[in-house]
Amino acid sequence: MHQSPRHYFETRLRPASDPMTAAARLASSGLHPDYVVYENGGTWSYAGGALAEITLDRSGARLRKQEQEEVLLPWDGRPLQQVQSLLDTVRIKDWRAYGWAAFELSYAKDGDLRHVGDQRLLHLVVPHTEIRIEAGEAYLRSADQATLSAALDVLAEEHTESRAVPDPVDVRQAGADAYRRAVGAAVDAINGRVLQKVIFSRVVPVDHELDFVGTYLAGRRGNNPARSFLLSLGGIEATGFSPEIVVQVAPDGRVVSQPLAGTRALTGDRAEDDRLRAELLTDPKEIYEHAISVKIACDELLEVCAPGTVDVEEFMVVKDRGTVQHLASRVGGQLADGQGAWDAFKAVFPAVTASGVPKDAAYDSIRSNESEARGLYGGAVLTVSHEGAMDATLVLRSVYRQNGRTWLRAGAGIVGQSRPERELEETCEKLGSVGRFLVPAAEPVEAVGAGAGAMAGGTRP
């Protein structure tokens, strides 16, 4: 072990279990009450505790550091610039921050607080302990040697993995009638040229206590997401299997967005799935819904990218995501001089595939027709680094717990050709990506060999 400048002690080892299980064991170890687990392209990261913490609400942006006085930047109408300014003061070598942004940040990112309550809009931590697991090796760093040693013990311990039995919930009934009515109202508004597309969601309550770590493990094995996450941060717990990124920014300024729009079920029957895939690729409603989403993604990147660099790198391919298949495209560009990761995030957040077209009209419609604020749903879980990189994933296909309440939430994209019954069915298809994997708390478990099948996320249930 050796001490790095700026407070981190570092070491590495080969964990006794696969990366997903190792990250989950860190989350359940009790090392830190607040943590974020984030999967990105075969790398699992665990961020526990906080050396520095940045939060944003209607009063402004706050920075808290261990044993130092809080710094408050009062609201000045440029919230994401304030977040960047606070991150610029972090003096920790090679820092990375982890956290989340609520959907309601979209209402306030340009300074307008009319539609924002007292809720937190963004929460980031530069962790006390960070562990990244990739290619069979764990890279550990912590602010103190005692915690580093404890984390080493968790990762090195041989164990027998426990497979809990999920207890699925009925996702069809909650709010179904209200959702049909909302879809009908949206179609009328679209046909009246008030907007072109909007995403409405509905909430499904979960009445029993959940084991969030067990749910993450079960759900990740049954999904093949673009990103996955497990977090307990700022009073919110969530785990999810995101189908798409909001935005990805490389240190050299290369920026990518990945709109997914257009959906059919994955049934597990190959012939039926192929039929639905062909239907998805030829359905005028689905193609239109997808095409306008790609157009908006291009327009948004044009705001922050150098002229001539924005292009559609991949167009309308089909991606399997758990219990559904989506039309997917990939839009990329090169950030213009003077533009950074938070500028790119501001340009594309929230994802057009979770809001609508045009966005301002979609926001009005969402606020008028949904039963409650979205919070983390439709927002982002993200990482950002000292070198200007960012990875922000769209929070969908997730389960949430806050203030003693647990729930699921899913939506569907509504355009002029939408039918209420079909859009309701689409929410059920999406809810299945999580709802069938909910693991009850303190439920009897069946022991299996350590790590067996832990990376079966590419298979469908």
How confident is the model at residue 460, as a pLDDT? 26
pLDDT tens-digit profile of 372-411? 999 999 999 999 999 999 999 999 999 999 999 999 999 9
pLDDT tens-digit profile of 314-355? 999 999 998 899 999 999 999 999 999 999 999 999 999 999
Mean pLDDT of the chain: 92
Q: What percent of the chain has pLDDT over 70?
A: 93
How confident is the model at residue 66, as a pLDDT? 80
pLDDT tier for residue 457 given thresholds of 50, 70 and 90? very low
Q: Is the pLDDT of residue 455 over 60?
A: no
Query: Are the CB atoms for 313 and 297 separated by under 8 Å?
Result: no
Encoded tokens for 36:
């974020």
How confident is the model at residue 158, as a pLDDT? 78
CATH class for the domain made up of 164-458: alpha beta
How many other CB atoms are found less than 10 A from the CB of residue 233?
23
CA distance linking residue 228 with residue 48, whole number of Å: 17
How confident is the model at residue 382, as a pLDDT? 98
- Which H/E stretch holds residue 63? strand 60-65
How confident is the model at residue 161, as a pLDDT? 66
For residue 128, the Cα-to-chain-centroid distance in whole angstroms is 22
Nearest-5° angle of CA 6, CA 10, CA 11? 175
Query: Are the CB atoms for 250 and 341 separated by under 8 Å?
Result: no
pLDDT tens-digit profile of 417-429? 999 999 999 999 9
**Residue 307: burial class (beta carbons within 10 Å; 0-12, 13-18, 19+):** exposed
Q: What percent of the chain has pLDDT over 90?
A: 90
How confident is the model at residue 68, as a pLDDT? 83
Helical H runs in 13-104? 19-28, 79-87
Q: What is the mean pLDDT of residues 194-219?
A: 97
Q: Is the pLDDT of residue 450 over 50?
A: no
Say what the alpha-carbon torsion angle 232, 235, 240, 242 is, to the nearest 10 degrees: -110
How confident is the model at residue 203, as a pLDDT? 98
pLDDT tier for residue 163 given thresholds of 50, 70 and 90? confident
pLDDT tens-digit profile of 28-60? 999 999 999 999 999 999 999 999 999 999 999
3-class DSSP state of 280: helix
The residue ranges of every structural domain in the chain are: 164-458
Q: Is the pLDDT of residue 19 over 90?
A: yes
Indicate yes or no: pTM above 0.75: yes
For residue 244, indicate whether it is catalytic. Answer: yes
Looking only at the bridges linking them, the beta strands covering 122-126 and 52-57 are antiparallel
Active-site option among 244, 300, 423, 429: 244
Q: What is the mean pLDDT of residues 15-23?
A: 95
Query: Are the CB atoms for 201 and 373 separated by under 8 Å?
Result: no
How confident is the model at residue 337, as a pLDDT? 97
